[in-house]
Structure 1
């Protein structure tokens, strides 16, 4: 049972919305231990709350993009594997997102998951449009199931590579109308990528 307290100047609609949206858990302790909505609302839930804006900054090579890839990976992974199983949007402003790195990270998280190993060993994942081969060997079954889950994860991810600030703004506006389900997380990597380009104009 969840207990909610009404905040000062909070309408019933705001309380209802807050009660029906659980925070996003990223799997990263430095995000998940902070109370959701810590920018203003006082909630006991931990994680990144709906509408929260989190900014990572630091020198080049400090791991900011790696943190973002980990957040996106946790977001798109199936719930039965400990993920959020929710859509995510990744704005790759500087074109440095490595899809191969994301694939490697997802494969590692999926294949090392005990639930995945047990389900795959007991006849395959199935149900997700995957192929279950009763006559295939265990390594082939594991590989097939891994690919099925990986494809499901990648279907929940939209990567946008804008060429400039105006294209970024247009893409954000289009996504508001295009996405049937609101993404659990919108990641913008390389916020300053268009600074000098826009200075010229």
Structure 2
């Protein structure tokens, strides 16, 4: 090999810059701001139901679909489409619409944080805002909503079929929107776990002898393999939520005792940051197959508490506690969920 052939690069300068910019860390809003996240990372949000896991997904999705700048107004978005796969079929599109409207109106200065109902805020805005501004907001709203790509699956077969066909859809959406999907969200990754586990022991019918029996490990392996194939061609950040089982793995206590244990841990908000990681892990029982656990690169534990936080308009909101388990961080974040989204309070 001559010196000239050795110097010749495999990619142009433009391709190098595109690849480097693609691999820059995501700057997501709190409470997902503690650790820099990159394409290829798999983030798992673990917590009981309800613990605001889907609310965190919606806020991250809005940050991704919003543009960086629109007609001179800075929105600070990532300016990319989002693919949302709903496995528990409980996604509230009205909640997405509500939070997106708040973000747009806050950025344009049309709405101040008053903590009131969205309808009252919109009525006040309509009285004080010019019609061209309202039309502009609606245009941006429609632009962002079209970037939110939603798929619903009701069983593991539909989920696997969606992943297999996702490659072609992502190329099509890139041609439509001009930007590739940067964020793949899977709401309730363990939604079909117990059904698939029970199906393992069901005998096949005579006309299904040629079909392989559905077993839990095989489904998880297929899901992980399909996602890995997607990431090779479509670099994305993956965020998946998972409802967890609370309680000690070896404990025989009742649910009431476990709930009282949680209340005792979060009784004093001033000591929330001092709750040890071992106590929180005591409440987190893993049930997903090992192939999925090893695939996850970041894990976050989210739990509700009995405490409340009073906002400036004297409204009380339930307090939630968030802890990074992977990588392990030595402190906790406390946040509330309001009409405008998720807000970290400490």
TM-score normalised over the length of structure 2: 0.42
Matched, 1:74 2:74: no
SS of match in other structure, 1:95: coil
**Deviation at 1:91?**
0.7
The 5 A counterparts of 1:42-61 are: 48-61=37-50
CA distance in 2, matches of 1:175, 1:56: 23
Deviations 1:30-89 (A, max 9, x none): 423313xxxxxxxxxxxx201011000011111111100100011001111111110110
CA distance in 2, matches of 1:160, 1:60: 21
Deviations 1:141-184 (A, max 9, x none): 23211111011001111111011111111111211122223311
Which of 49, 57, 63 aligns to 2:52? It is: 63
The 5 A counterparts of 1:1-201 are: 16=16, 19-21=20-22, 22-28=24-30, 30-35=31-36, 48-80=37-69, 81-114=75-108, 138-180=129-171, 181=174, 182-201=180-199
SS of match in other structure, 1:196: helix
Uncovered stretches (5+) of structure 1, i.e. residues with no partner: 1-11, 36-47, 118-136
Check conservation: 2:64, 2:81, Cα contact below 8 A: yes
Check conservation: 1:94, 1:190, Cα contact below 8 A: yes
Uncovered stretches (5+) of structure 2, i.e. residues with no partner: 1-9, 70-74, 111-127, 175-179, 200-346
Q: 1:132 maps to what in 2?
A: none
CA distance in 2, matches of 1:139, 1:105: 22
CA distance in 1, matches of 2:87, 2:168: 21
Q: Identify the structure with the greater strand proportion.
A: 2
Q: 2:289 maps to what in 1?
A: none
The total of aligned residue pairs comes to: 157
SS of match in other structure, 1:55: strand
Check conservation: 2:89, 2:154, Cα contact below 8 A: no
CA distance in 2, matches of 1:105, 1:20: 28
CA distance in 2, matches of 1:188, 1:90: 6
Q: Which has the higher contact order (CA 8 A, sep 6+)?
A: 2
Tell me which structure has the larger Cα radius of gyration.
2
Check conservation: 2:83, 2:149, Cα contact below 8 A: yes
Once superposed, what is the RMSD of the aligned Cα atoms? Answer: 2.3
